[in-house]
Amino acid sequence: MIAAVKEWLAVFPTLLFLLPSGASAADDPGGAARELARKTVAFAGRGESVTASWRNLSSLPPGDLAQARAVFESALRESGARAAEGGTVEIRITVSESRQQYLLVGEARKGDDRQTLIAAWKRPAGNAASAPAGVALERRLLWEQPDPILDAVLMPDALLILSPGKLTLYAHRESSFEQRASAPVTPARPWPRDARARLAVNGAAVRAFLPGTLCTGTLQPALTLECHAGDDPWPADAGAPPLLAAFVPGRNFFDGHVVMPTGARKSLAPFFTAGAISERGANYWVLALTSGTTQLLDANFETAGGITGWGSDLAATGAHCGGGSQILATKAGDAREPDSIRAYGLSNRVPVALTAPVDFSGPVTALWSAGGASAIAVVRDLETARYAVYLLTVVCSG
Amino acid sequence: MVKRSGIAILGLLTASAISPATRPRYGGTLRVETRQAPQTQDPPAFLDSGFNITRWEAGHLAVYEADENASGGRPFLDSVEIALGRALRDQSIDLELGKADVIELGPTELRRQPAGRKIWTSSPVRVLALVFSPRVEDARVREALALSVDRAAIHAVLLQRQGEISGALLPQWLTGYAFLFPTTQDLPRARQLAAGARPLSLAPEDPASRAIAERIALNARDAGLNVTVTSQPASADIRLSELRVASSDPAKALAAMAAALGAPEPARLDSAEALFSAERSLLDGFKVIPLIHLPDVYGTAARVRGGPGISPAGDWQFENLWVEGPRP
């Protein structure tokens, strides 16, 4: 900043109040055009002829501009002025824009008198186009909302959505879902910045694993949920029994201490996600480590290889296409970029892509096994900032 | 990728193969360098949220550590080290040598960045402007200088087309009416106004802007003004200054600029028209001559993830950044 200039000519009276400039903006182009017409007539005088010229310096579509122009000319007549060529008053109207609003800026001239007249209207919030379709891995949008989604469970007649503040049960109604009940989620400690959580439903019982918190409740006869501080290990995959892993409170990863489905305990490197995969009867584990490495491990968690090009999220599926099972993985990249997921299998312990990538309009913020051949993916749309839940299903064909 | 029997084969497997994690990683220190070198006893608020300052060496160093109880969760970074008073050229060298993660880029440095460098750019939030000392009382002389400046040449050559030419204090993206303020050079009119003017001194507040000051002095001479560039802003007749857009609310931003210029704060900025009127009043008399609106531009190391770490208004927002490096 520069130093103050002394003895400045006092062009401004004392500060009275400041309001955002959008405070007096109209709601639409028509409202702004009427306002500009009123101001024009106030400057020109009733009965005067006005010649208006237009130019567009904004991103406003031509149709909206034509609408504003028609409304302006109509309002000009209604206010007692005449629109005419070679009028006594000339006004050059520029359609301009700022981040928050569109402006109609009129530079009016009547003889030697000049005046700048401005009318504005608020910009509408942008709507994002949906992600392109055309996928080999079957994708089904289940739910979309502005609040973050941590995990979801799709049941035959209902959908359970876990958000940082609540657990919501939606009933299946025709081709959509409608809310049936919700219960507050009260974590024992604040959510980490990259919040993660895991839902597990068993009959009418529900458990929500949160960082440093375990919530337990019921789906029937009423949706309930009670949360307590706890470091219970999370089910890291959808196996039966699952791989259990200790999640680090206040962070976004597992510390590496796991209980294998056999009951044996192992100490591994810290990881974001884990999943099982098989090839010709041999079982393997895949771990997305916090170091950025994706590791292939054998059934005893001994290193069997490394994988390049995968992101931090992967989820095993129960699909068995060909001679082994399939696993889904995000792509390597940045958590602020549009992501994609594709299905992989093993060929001589080398992962091979079995499907084309399923592209999303934002980063995948959660990817969990959903049982069977499916997984649940949560995506944050980069344009709308809304969260969407997808059911991804590996379909064997041919 | 190689295709074999219709199946895409991934890259060769090695136990140590590393690809950047897509999920944010905790840990690490972000090393930032800036030209700013505040000498205040108390540290300025470089980082508004997510971090607590733990070390302050006025004009040299500020160290912040992650706030475990930060709103929205603890930042991914453990700490942020901000080296102060670093010249732009030194910053670029440090980025190249891996000694810095985030640096400021001037037009010259921006041109020299290698392909693939991650660049963060804000909206135009800095106003390069000429500010007259109260000693220059003749408004005709001030207007002469305003009409003599060839903004297009400065923008194209010295600033490498960075930013936007403007005669307004507030940028177009903020108000939508900045285009109303004239920017064209008019040497014949400037010569008329400059007749009989005394010699003037011009000093850039930032030494990096000296080439621009010299170009302005050259333009002024074409209009018959005798302008000499000095390095003493405090005593110069004209200062080449940088004003900052301090708020994304145009009314507040204009009020802050008025305060920075020592002018009374404007009243009733409750419409675009009122705002325009207030800004025009502020510029009447040519005591301040806006030239060009510039963005904040930063270069970042490849290991910095989760960016951009600045808001559209140029504020540092490092809570959601992380660095690839040692395990958390």
Is A363 within 8 Å of chain B by CB?
yes
Q: At what angle do helices B210-222 and B139-148 cross, to 10 degrees?
A: 110
Of A131-145, A309-323, B267-281, the poorest mean pLDDT is in: A131-145
What's the pLDDT score for residue A4? 36
Domain final residue, candidates A89, A122, A155 = A122
Of A127-131, B114-118, B138-142, the poorest mean pLDDT is in: A127-131
Number of CB atoms found within 10 A of residue A62's CB = 8
Judge whether B166 and B292 are in contact, CB under 8 Å.
Answer: yes
What's the pLDDT tens digit per position in A340-375? 999 998 877 888 888 888 889 899 999 999 988 899
Indicate whether A132 pLDDT > 70: no
Q: Indicate the helix (H) or strand (E) that contains A380.
A: strand A374-380
Using a pLDDT cut of 70, give the percent of chain B over it: 92
What's the pLDDT score for residue B325? 66
Considering the domain architecture, whether residues A162 and A68 belong to the same structural domain is answered as no
Mean pLDDT of chain B: 88
Report the first-to-last Cα separation within chain A, whole angstroms: 69
Give me the CATH number covering residue A73: 3.40.50.10610
Mean pLDDT of chain A: 84
Strands of the sheet containing A364-371, edge to edge, are: A138-145, A387-393, A374-380, A364-371
What's the pLDDT tens digit per position in B86-104? 999 999 999 999 999 999 9
- The CA–CA distances, whole Å, from A216 to A22, A225, A242, B28, B146 equal 47, 5, 18, 35, 71
* Chain B positions in Cβ-Cβ contact with residue A335 (cut-off 8 Å): 22-24, 305-306
Domain final residue, candidates A122, A151, A167 = A122
Is B287 within 8 Å of chain A by CB?
yes
What's the pLDDT score for residue A244? 94
Rounded mean pLDDT, A306-333: 86
- Say which CATH topology domain B24-101+301-323 has: D-Maltodextrin-Binding Protein; domain 2 (3.40.190)
The answer to the question of residue A332 being in a domain is: yes
What's the pLDDT score for residue A108? 94
Judge whether B199 and B228 are in contact, CB under 8 Å.
Answer: yes
ipTM of this predicted structure:
0.72
Is B324 within 8 Å of chain A by CB?
yes
The larger pLDDT score, comparing residue A17 to residue A298, is at A298
The DSSP line for B156-186 is IIISTT-SEE-SSSS-HHHHS-GGGS-----
Question: Among partner residues B15, B264, B275, which is closest to A14 by beta-carbon distance?
Answer: B264
The answer to the question of residue A17 being in a domain is: no
Q: How far apart are CA A140 and CA A390, in angstroms?
A: 5
The answer to the question of residue A15 being in a domain is: no
What's the pLDDT tens digit per position in A225-243? 999 999 999 999 877 788 9
What's the pLDDT score for residue A397? 56
Token pair recorded at residue A326 = 């399939």
Q: How far apart are CA B11 and CA B30, in angstroms?
A: 31
Q: Cβ A5–B324 below 8 Å, yes or no? A: no
In which band, very low, low, confident or very high, does the pLDDT at B20 lie, cut at 50, 70 and 90? Answer: low
Judge whether B311 and B215 are in contact, CB under 8 Å.
Answer: no
* Chain B positions in Cβ-Cβ contact with residue A379 (cut-off 8 Å): none
Indicate whether B19 pLDDT > 70: no
Pick the CATH number of B124-295 from 3.40.50.300, 3.10.105.10, 3.30.70.20, 2.40.30.10: 3.10.105.10
Indicate whether B15 pLDDT > 60: no
Give the total number of structural domains in chain A. 2
Considering the domain architecture, whether residues A366 and A235 belong to the same structural domain is answered as yes
Residue B8, classed as helix, strand or coil, is strand
Token pair recorded at residue B236 = 């110069």
Question: Among partner residues B20, B72, B250, which is closest to A21 by beta-carbon distance?
Answer: B250
Domain final residue, candidates A77, A97, A122 = A122
What's the pLDDT tens digit per position in B147-169? 999 999 999 889 888 888 999 99
The answer to the question of residue A227 being in a domain is: yes
Considering the domain architecture, whether residues A110 and A241 belong to the same structural domain is answered as no
**Residues linked to residue B165 through DSSP beta bridges, in sequence order:** B292
Helices (H), chain B: 88-96, 107-111, 139-148, 151-153, 172-175, 187-194, 210-222, 250-260, 272-283
| Chain A interface disruption, residue of B19, B49, B252, most A CBs within 10 A | B19
Is A351 within 8 Å of chain B by CB?
yes
Considering the domain architecture, whether residues A153 and A71 belong to the same structural domain is answered as no
Question: Among partner residues A117, A250, A332, which is closest to B19 by beta-carbon distance?
Answer: A332
Indicate whether A302 pLDDT > 90: no
Considering the domain architecture, whether residues A279 and A240 belong to the same structural domain is answered as yes
Q: How far apart are CA A144 and CA A381, in angstroms?
A: 10
Considering the domain architecture, whether residues A213 and A306 belong to the same structural domain is answered as yes
Rounded mean pLDDT, A132-153: 78
Is B313 within 8 Å of chain A by CB?
no
Q: Which amino acid does the sequence have at B291?
A: L
Is B271 within 8 Å of chain A by CB?
yes
Considering the domain architecture, whether residues A148 and A217 belong to the same structural domain is answered as yes
Dihedral, CA of residue A55, residue A58, residue A59 and residue A64, to nearest 10: -50
Equal fold, B24-101+301-323 vs B124-295 = no
Q: What is the residue extent of each domain of chain B? A: 24-101+301-323, 124-295
Indicate whether A133 pLDDT > 70: no
Which domain range does residue A107 map to?
22-122
What's the pLDDT score for residue A62? 79
Q: Cβ A305–B69 below 8 Å, yes or no? A: no
| Chain A interface disruption, residue of B40, B273, B276, B319, most A CBs within 10 A | B273
Indicate whether B16 pLDDT > 70: no
At B114, phi and psi to the nearest 5? -70, 155
Considering the domain architecture, whether residues A259 and A388 belong to the same structural domain is answered as yes
Considering the domain architecture, whether residues A99 and A188 belong to the same structural domain is answered as no
